[in-house]
Structure 1
Amino acid sequence: MVVHDRRLGRRAAKGVAAALAVLLWGAAASADTVRWQEDAPARYTVQNGDTLWDIAERFLSAPWQWPRVWRRNPQVDNPGLIYPGDVLYLRDCDGAPCLGLERGRRVVKLSPQMRTLPRRQVVPPLPMRVLDAFLRDHRVVNASAPLDELAYVIGGEDRRLISGAGDQVFVRAAASSRLAGRETGQRLGIFRPGETYQSAAGEPLGQELSSIGEGVLVSHSDDIARLHVHQAAREVRRGDVVLPLDPGLPTDDITPRAPRRAMNGRIVGVPGGVRFIGRLQVVAIDLGTEDGLQPGHVLRIAQQGERVADPRTGERVRLPGEVAGSLVVFRPYDRVSYAIVMAATGTLSVGDSVRSPR
């Protein structure tokens, strides 16, 4: 919810934003120029549940340019350290617009009893709870690491083919697998192979894995390990893959920003088999670390153009696509990456192209 300073009317807020925008734009603006929203608020109070992207989107047409408006702001050393209750306001920095900050000070009434105040949580760059929850349930195995090199369930106790929470299963782990040398008592994830992501030419980019549950390593002898299943969203079957759990995402690595070089790719899948894509949905794209992609990189999304018949030749021609959104990469692998859609002006779908915003 937007909270404006009630002392400034809407007309005044728009006037301040427009005046600062004129200072910024000058006679012309390049593609890399910071562009302010026409209806940017004169003041905004940061709310619980806000993300840096949400806040930046209220002021900037390109939210990933957020750090640039802090360059000449002596009040904040780190633009990521913003808290609920802080007030952001438009100001003039030597003829260029920027954002000022008023630190929120909480009023505490004195009482005979000692009161412990909860620690203020820093506003995250993106909806981290959504991303962390997604990564607990999904991951990608790089094309260079085939499934037959991963540890897998070979059966359950009493010759069971299907097991669940509370059961124990046997896992076979090759010496080259990521379970080699693991100590007993460690928590492990149980996954089921899903979609194989492919390039436009049909070349495999990575194998998606979906979480089945979690277990604890009880014992291991040679290449056979015993795993106690303590949590299972679905039944555990023979052939399911066992891997160490991924740590949570470090927020410092996901500062939204444009890639330094040109990127061109496409959306190759949506975990869960969803056909149409909207805001805050996770997608897989056919770009990865081998292409220079890093966590926090922002890409524009262009919808596929309609296919029409050429009236002279009769051939089917695809019309140029239109920019219809943007996404932020949060988990890149070698040749494929997971990204979250942060803006969508239309319905997106698998096959839509992605490219650098410049």
Structure 2
Amino acid sequence: MIKTLRRLAAACAMLVVAAGVSAVTLRDNHPDVYYVKKDDTLWDISGRFLEHPWQWPEIWHVNPAIKNPHLIFPGDAIRLSWVDGEPRLELDRASGEQSRLPDGTVKLSPRVREMSREDAIPAIPMNAIQSYLKQALVLERADIAAAPYVLGGQDRRVIFGGGDTVHARDPEQRWANAEQRYGLYRVGEEYVDPVTDEVLGYEARQVGLASVERIEEDMATLQVLRSSEDLRVDDRLFPQPDQRVRALLYPHAPDEKVEGRIIRFFDRISSVARNDVVVINRGAREGMEEGHVLDIFQQGEQVRDRQQDEMVRLPRTRAGSLVLFRVFEKVSYGLIMESQRPVYMNDVVESPEGSY
């Protein structure tokens, strides 16, 4: 079956693509109307109506009478209707206040409702991913070797913090096209593909922010504006990434079948669950995009078939789903949106069934 998939674009335009899709299934207890509240997300609202929230664009009906009908704000109503036997979801934005006169007549009083794009509800919980949008990098070894680095600081100390002065050296580029501010990053986890053993990159987390005071040849003096932990000699400097939050990121399935593995947790030891962030071993080179939805599966355990005297693997089990929110060349960061059971390292991620 051929489908038309509407996606939100950054300019609030509609991008139409064709791909295969399974039939949209409504939840048994779906409402006929839902009034949007502060702190809602599009995923949560979709989940009130649909078995698979990422299928929201399949039945979304654009109301041409509403300015920016792709942006949804607290107070808006999402209504379910039926057209030719097919479900439709439509945005109903109140344009005036109602009052009833003594004779029973309903009086409409127009009012102006000012709404900023920043007030629109996000697709997924932005507070769960803010730090990863702003402060996380995945680097190649060559990027690390070529980056400026902290050489030292005041009073012959080897650790520094907010308010301190540090000196950094850039022997390769000699601060060509220098920025005014730099993030200070500590290189840590090596990302390795569990199937091929390929090194996919190196995790760099921001530990501080510094402002350039002066540059002399290949040496720069910087003032540390803030630090989340002690800064050290050899910490790397990189320009600040684009800090605009992608509020219009919109969940959708990949156009083709994708399969990968979870290779990294953050701040968890053995397992993760809903609203936790994970890293998968697939990135832009495999066609991953921000907003891609992937299901999570766990391999069945191996058991002995005593009747046949052999080891057999039980069928795999669906554990949940995630949405990619930051895509690098060989890996991607994803937020777990649903988890029916704990999610473990090396669990499989795959395009939703019927989406390819």
Change (3 A) 1:236 1:76: same
**Counterpart contact for 1:80–1:124, Cα < 8 Å:** no
Select the structure that is richer in strand: 2
Report the CA distance shift for 1:249/1:199 in structure 2 as closer, same or farther (over 3 A). Answer: farther
Query: Structure 1 CA distance, aligned partners of 2:333 and 2:50?
Result: 25
Task: Please point out which of 146, 164, 169 is paired with 1:167.
Answer: 164
SS at match of 2:134: helix
- State the distance in 1 between where 2:312 and 2:244 align: 42
CA contact (8 A) 1:84 1:104 kept: no
**How far apart in 2 are the matches of 1:92 and 1:346?**
35
Amino acid at match of 1:301: I
Please tell me the residue identity of whatever aligns with 1:86.
D
SS at match of 1:129: helix
1:194-213 equivalences in 2 (<5 Å): 194-200=188-194, 201-213=196-208
Change (3 A) 1:315 1:203: farther
- The Cα of 1:136 is off from its aligned counterpart by 2.9
1-side partners of 2:329 and 2:46: how far apart?
Answer: 30
Matched, 1:96 2:86: yes
Deviations 1:167-220, CA, capped at 9 Å, x for gaps: 11111224359x53214xx22111111211110132210111122111111122
Contact kept? 2:133, 2:245, Cα under 8 Å: no
Q: Which amino acid aligns with 1:43?
A: V
Q: CA deviation at 1:50?
A: 0.8
Deviation of 1:34 (Å): 1.1
Kindly report which structure 2 residues correspond to 1:130-145, keeping only aligned pairs within 5 A, or say none.
130-141=128-139, 143=140, 145=142
TM-superposed CA distance for 1:59, in Å, is: 0.7
Give CA-to-partner distance per residue, 1:53-109, whole Å, 9 cap, x none. 111111111111111212475556865311110111211122211113321357599
Supply the AA of the counterpart residue of 1:130: A
Instruction: Give, in angstroms, the shift of residue 314 of structure 1.
Output: 8.0
Identity %: 37
CA contact (8 A) 2:181 2:209 kept: yes
Structure 1 gap segments, 5+ residues each: 1-29, 110-115
Aligned to 1:152: 149
Relative to its length, the structure with more helix (as a share) is 1
SS at match of 2:57: helix
Indicate which of 19, 32, 49 corresponds to 2:39: 49
Output the CA distance in 2 between the equivalents of 1:316 and 1:159: 63
Shift of 1:249: 4.5
Contact 2:122 2:248 (8 Å CA) reproduced:
no
Q: CA deviation at 1:347?
A: 0.3
Task: Map residues 146-295 of structure 1 onto 2, 5 A cutoff.
Answer: 146-176=143-173, 180-183=176-179, 186-200=180-194, 201-251=196-246, 254-295=249-290
Which residue does the alignment assign to 1:15? Answer: none
User: Which region of structure 1 is more displaced relative to structure 2, 309-318 or 53-62?
Assistant: 309-318
1:341 shift after superposition: 0.7
Quick check: 251-260 or 68-77, which moved more?
A: 68-77
RMSD: 2.8
| Residues 60 and 168 of structure 1: CA distance in aligned 2, closer, same or farther (over 3 Å) | same
Structure 2 equivalent of residue 63 of structure 1: 53
Distance 2:141 2:309 in 1: 42
Aligned residue type for 1:67: P
Q: Superposition pairs for residues 295-314 of structure 1, below 5 Å?
A: 295-309=290-304, 311=306
Structure 1 length normalisation: TM-score? 0.81
Decide whether aligned partners of structure 1 residues 180 and 124 sit closer, same or farther in structure 2, where only a CA change above 3 A counts.
same
1:37 aligns with 2:27: yes
Q: Report if the CA contact (8 A) 1:288-1:335 is conserved.
A: yes
Q: Which position in structure 2 is the counterpart of 1:83?
A: 73
For residue 319 of structure 1, report the CA deviation from its aligned partner. 3.4
Is the Cα–Cα contact under 8 Å of residues 75 and 101 in structure 1 kept in the other structure? no
Q: Distance in 1 between matches of 2:38 and 2:278?
A: 27
Deviates more, 1:269-278 or 1:153-162: 269-278
| Stretch moving more, 258-267 or 310-319 | 310-319
Contact 1:73–1:99 at 8 Å: present in 2 too? no
**TM-score, with structure 2 as normaliser:** 0.81
Distance 1:46 1:215 in 2: 41
For 1:44, the aligned partner's letter is: Y
Q: How far off is 1:137 after superposition? A: 3.4
